[in-house]
Amino acid sequence: MRSFGGIEPASEARVRPIEIDALDQPVSSLKGVGTKTSAALGRLGVSSIRDLILYRPRRYEPPAPRRDVGELLSGEEATLDVEVVNTSLRRTRRRNLTILEALVRDSTGSIVATWFNQAWLSEKLTPGVHLQIRGTLDRGDFAVRSYELGTEPIADITPLYPASDALASKRIRDLVRLALEHLESLGEPLPARLRATQRLPHKADAVLALHQPRVMDDVETARQRLAFEELLVMQLGLAARPDAEDRDAAPFSEPGELISRYRAALPFEFTAAQERVIVEIDGDLEKSDAMQRLLQGDVGSGKTVVALYALMRAVEAGQQGALMAPTETLAEQHFLTVERICAELGIGCVLLTSSLPTAAAREARALLETGEAGIAIGTHALIQDQIAFRALGVAVVDEQHRFGVEQRHALATHRSIDTPDRVPHQLYMTATPIPRTLALTVWGDLAISEINQPPAGRRPIVTSWTTHERASEAYLRLRSHLENGRQAYVVCPLITASGASEGRAAEDEARRLQSAELADLRVGCIHGQLPTRDRRALMEAFAAGELDVLVATTVIEVGIDVPNASIMIVQEADRFGLAQLHQLRGRVGRGEHQSYCLLVSRAKKELTEMASERLDAMVSTTDGFELAEIDLELRGHGQLLGTRQKGLSDLRFTRPRSDQELLRAARDVASELDEVDEILTLEVARMFGDADHRGRA
C-alpha cells in the first residue's frame, strides 16, 4: 500500500469492514462508562461508539520539556515525573470552585500541584501513585493542565477535545482510546480507485492520525480526508432526493414609487453591501421561480432593513409580506421598527404571537385574510392552521437555524386565498453561520448573499475581560458613560436566584444596583417571564431614554436596537456560549458613540479551558464569521444547534468557509462516481437520517 500525506497505512485486514453495526452500540457499552458519563457525552453529541471514534479534537498540545522539580522556572510550561505524597481539597469563598492540591515529589524536591474543579481525582491520587503532570509554575504552585497516571510517557502531541464542566478533555481522551479498539469495524466507504486518484488515505488511518498524530502535518491531512468523504456523502444524498416540488411564484415588476418612499423614510442610506444584496433580491423577484435566498450578515450589519425592502416589494406588487422570528421578544422588536415605517407609508402592519390576546389575534387574522394588512410580523403563530393570507408574496424567516425544517417549510409553501397555485418568494436570514448553512447552500435550493460591511459610522466595539473581584470598577466605568448621557445593559444568566445554580440573577442584580452602585439612576429589569405588555413597555421606555440601565437575561440577545446604549456588562460571562456572547455584544455599538463590552467572570485559572478560550476569542475579534469558526472548533459536532432537526446531520470535519475547494472536488466526484458500494450507501443514509436513501444512493 501507498502512504498518503505521511500517514502510515494500516494493513488491509484492519480496514476491511467487520461487523460495521458494532460501532452503533451506545457508549455505555464501553468499559467504565456509566449513566453520568453517558449523559455527559450525550450533551456533547456523542451517543455511540462511532460518534466517539469520529469525535474530532479541537486542538493539540505540542510537547513540553521534561524537567525535574528542582529546576522549574516560574512561568515555564514543563512536564514532571513525580510521586504523590498526599492530597487535600479546599473550597474558595465562591462555593462553585473546588481546588485539589497534591504534594508531589521527585529526587530533586517537592511541590504542590493544583487542579480546579476536579475533586473526584483525589480518589486516584493516593500516596505513592506515580504521576506525570504537565503545567506551569505559578506563585510557587504547579498549575496542572494535563496529566497521566502511571509510567507510560505522555504523548508528544496531545489531542484536546471539546469538553464540558461534567467531562474533562482528559477523560474524553481516555474514552476515545477505548473506542479506537473497535476501529477495525469502521469500514472503508471510498472505492480504492477513488482513493488512489484523489490521493486519500484509508479512513481508519485518517481517524487514527487524527487522535494519535506522529507529526502535526498528519492532522490536517486526516481532517481533509474525512471532510472530503462527508462532503461526498452529502452530495450523493442530495442527488438522490426526489425532484423538488413546483416552486411557481408571482414575478414582480421593477421597484416603483413605494420603494422610493421607503428609501426616503429611512434616516440613513444603504451601504454598498446592502445595495448589492438588494440588486440580487430584485433579480430573484423578477422571476416566476420562487426566490430562495439566504442572507448572511454579522450582528448589526443591517439585515432587517434589507428584509423589509423585500417585504415592501411584495406590498408594492399588490401582495403581502410576512416576517417570522423565533422568539416573541424578537418579533415584538421587529414589529416596533416595522410598524413605525409602515405607518409613515400608509401600510397596514400586524403582530401575531402565541401570547396575543384572543380578540387581538382574531382581528389580526381578519386583516390578513382581507388583505388590509400588507405586512405581518410574528413567531411560529404565523403558520398555524387558522392563518390565511389574502396573497402572500414574500416570506422572510429571521434566525432561520432556530426553526425546525417543518416550520420553515410551512411558511415557504403557504397557499394564499387569491393565489392558491403559487408560493411566496423566500428570504432566510442568519447572523450565525453554521455547518447547516453550508449544507443548505450546497443543497442547490438556496442562493447566498452576504452583507460584509457595517453601516456607516459604526465603530468596532471595544471588548475586555475582568474578574468578579474587580466588578465594582466595572460599574464605576459604567457610571461615567451614564453621566455623559449614554445608556447601558447589564446581562445576567438567570432570572431569579436558584438553589440549583450559582449564577447571578437579573432580578437580584437590578435590586442590588438600584440600592448600591447605581442608587441615583433609573434601573429596569427585563426577562422572558414578564408579560408581553410589560416587556414592550420596558423596551419602549429604554429606547425613549426613560431608563439609564436595563438589567436583562438573554432575552435581549437579538433584535434590540437602541443607538444610545453604548456599554454592556455581562455577568458570569463564562456561562454563555460564544455565539450568544457575540449576539449580546451586538446590542451596543449601534450609534455614533464608541461602545464597550465588559465580560465579568471567575479568574482565568478557575475556568475550564474551553470557557477561557471563548472569552479570549471575544476579546480578540468582533468578526462574527471568525467567531463562528472558532465556536465550531471549540464545541465540536452535535452542539451546533442544541437539538438536532430532522434532515441533514451536522458536519464533523468540514470547515464551512475554508473547504470550498474540497466541496467542489466532492461535487465533481459525486457526478462521475459509478461505484457506490454498501458502506457508502449506509453513510448516505446515516447522514440524512433517512432509510429511503439506502436504496437511492
CATH number at residue 542: 3.40.50.300
The answer to whether the beta carbons of residues 234 and 439 sit under 8 Å apart is: yes
Would you place residue 434 in the very low, low, confident or very high pLDDT band (cuts 50, 70, 90)? Answer: low
Determine, yes or no, domain membership for 368.
yes
pLDDT > 70? residue 687: yes
Query: Hey, what's the cell of 502?
Result: 450559582
Name which of 238-242, 473-477, 562-566 the model is least confident about.
238-242
What is the arithmetic mean of pLDDT over 142-166? 80
Q: What is the pLDDT of residue 8?
A: 56
Mean pLDDT rounded to a whole number for the chain: 84
Q: Are residues 419 and 547 in the same domain?
A: no
Q: Minimum mean pLDDT among 54-58, 161-165, 540-544: which range?
A: 161-165
Instruction: State the average pLDDT over residues 153-175.
Output: 82
Q: Please indicate, yes or no, if residue 329 is contained in any of the structural domains.
A: yes
Q: Does residue 693 have a pLDDT over 60?
A: no
- Number of neighbours of residue 581 by Cβ within 10 angstroms: 26
Model confidence at 155, pLDDT cuts 50, 70, 90, reads low
Is residue 635 pLDDT above 70, yes or no? no
Which of the residue ranges 182-196, 328-342, 363-377, 600-614 would you say has the lowest mean pLDDT?
Answer: 600-614
One domain for residues 24 and 109: no
Scanning the structure block, which residue is given the C-alpha cell 442610506?
A: 269
How many other C-beta atoms can be found within 10 angstroms of the C-beta atom of residue 470? 10
Q: Is the dihedral of CA 437, 442, 448, 453 positive or negative?
A: positive
- 6 and 25 inside one domain: no
Final residue of a structural domain among 397, 429, 451: 451
Using pLDDT thresholds of 50, 70 and 90, give the confidence band for residue 301. Answer: confident
Q: Tell me what pLDDT residue 641 has.
A: 31
pLDDT band at 50 (very low <50, low <70, confident <90, very high): very high
Domain annotation covers residue 683: no
62-76, 234-248, 310-324, 517-531: the lowest-pLDDT one? 234-248
Residue 481 sits in which domain range?
462-624
> Residues of the chain with pLDDT > 70: what percent?
86
Q: Report if residue 277 sits inside a domain.
A: yes
**172 plus 210 within the same structural domain:** no
- Do 195 and 166 fall within a single domain? no
Q: Is residue 675 in some structural domain?
A: no
Whole-number Å distance between alpha carbons of 293 and 450: 10
Taking residues 2-19, what's their average pLDDT?
A: 46
Does 692 map to a domain?
Answer: no
> How many domains does one find in the chain?
5
Give the number of other CB atoms < 10 A from CB of residue 369.
16
| Contact status, residue 278 vs residue 270, Cβ threshold 8 Å | yes
Residue 502 sits in the same domain as residue 590: yes
pLDDT tier, 630 (very low <50, low <70, confident <90, very high otherwise): confident
Encode pLDDT of 325-338 as tens digits: 988 888 888 898 89
Do both 511 and 532 map to the same domain? yes
Domain assignment present for residue 589? The answer is yes
Q: Is the pLDDT of residue 617 over 80?
A: yes
Q: In this model, does residue 464 exceed pLDDT 90?
A: yes
Same domain? For 553 and 585 the reply is yes
Helices and strands (H, E) in the chain, number of each type: 22, 20
Residues 140 and 209 in one domain: no
Would the pLDDT of 310 be above 90? Answer: yes
The answer as to whether 381 is a domain residue is yes
Q: What is the pLDDT of residue 1?
A: 28
Out of 604, 624, 644, a domain closes at 624
User: Does residue 423 carry a pLDDT above 70?
Assistant: yes
Domain C-terminal end among 451, 476, 509: 451
Contact 552, 527 (CB under 8 A): yes
User: Does 362 lie in the same domain as 263?
Assistant: yes
Residues 466 and 587 in one domain: yes
pLDDT at 93 over 70: no
Structure confidence at residue 138 (pLDDT): 84
- The DSSP bridge pattern shows strands 141-149 and 130-138 to be antiparallel
Does the global pTM surpass 0.85?
A: no
37 and 74 assigned to the same domain: no
Burial class (CB in 10 A: 0-12, 13-18, 19+), 139: exposed
